[in-house]
Amino acid sequence: MKIATILGSMIKNGSCAYALKIVQNELKQNSSVELITIEPADFDLPFPGLKEKKSESARLKNLLKDAEGLVIATPEYHGSFSSVIKLVIENLGFPSVLSGKPVSLLGVAGGSIGAIKSLEQLRSVCSHVGAIVLPGPISIANVRSVFDSEGNCKDLKIESRLKNLATELIKYTSMHVCPVHTLEEFVREEN
């Protein structure tokens, strides 16, 4: 099963990346998972409406088209999800590559209420493009105090919740997405 993670920050060693790394490490623990990591800093994506750099959009779509599930991680900026995530979603086309795929959401914020606002908005956008947004998004509040300078999580409850996000996505995907692909392959082989 292919599961993709998307980092919603250009900062590869920031709090959002640290939180996502725990999810990625948990995904890697499952031998049936092939992990696809998307870091937007590695792409030169065009702004909506511009036709330049189509190859970068196509490369992004190709990486995600075969993914059976995704984790999208975003920092909360000014009460919303990052513009980086919006740019990634805009470059996935319409109908979107996310359509019909289960998506787990992860948000981090420096404030005490966490990334609640950004996750609500991101849920809405992902649903609009046809993604199946799974329940139980993770919102990490006061994120600057959660990780040490090496990226290690100092809060065992938060670390456990992040690992559970990966586990639940694997469980949903293996129960609801992979059997459909297997049935389709079986039917095609018989014809």
Distances (CA, A) of 98 to 51, 109, 112, 184: 21, 25, 31, 19
Strand partners, 4: 36, 70
List the CATH number of the domain containing 47: 3.40.50.360
Domains in the chain, number: 1
Residue that is written with structure tokens 């920050």 in the block: 9
Per-residue pLDDT of the chain (191 residues; tens, 9 = 90+): 999 999 999 998 999 999 999 999 999 999 999 999 999 999 999 888 776 657 888 999 999 999 999 999 999 999 999 999 999 999 999 899 999 999 999 999 999 999 999 999 999 999 999 999 999 999 999 999 999 999 999 999 999 999 999 999 999 998 887 655 444 555 566 55
Query: Which residues 6+ apart lie within 8 Å of 159 measured at CB?
Result: 22, 153
CB 132 within 8 A of CB 173: no
Question: Can you give the residue range of the structural domain that contains 39?
Answer: 2-190
- pTM (2 decimals)? 0.90
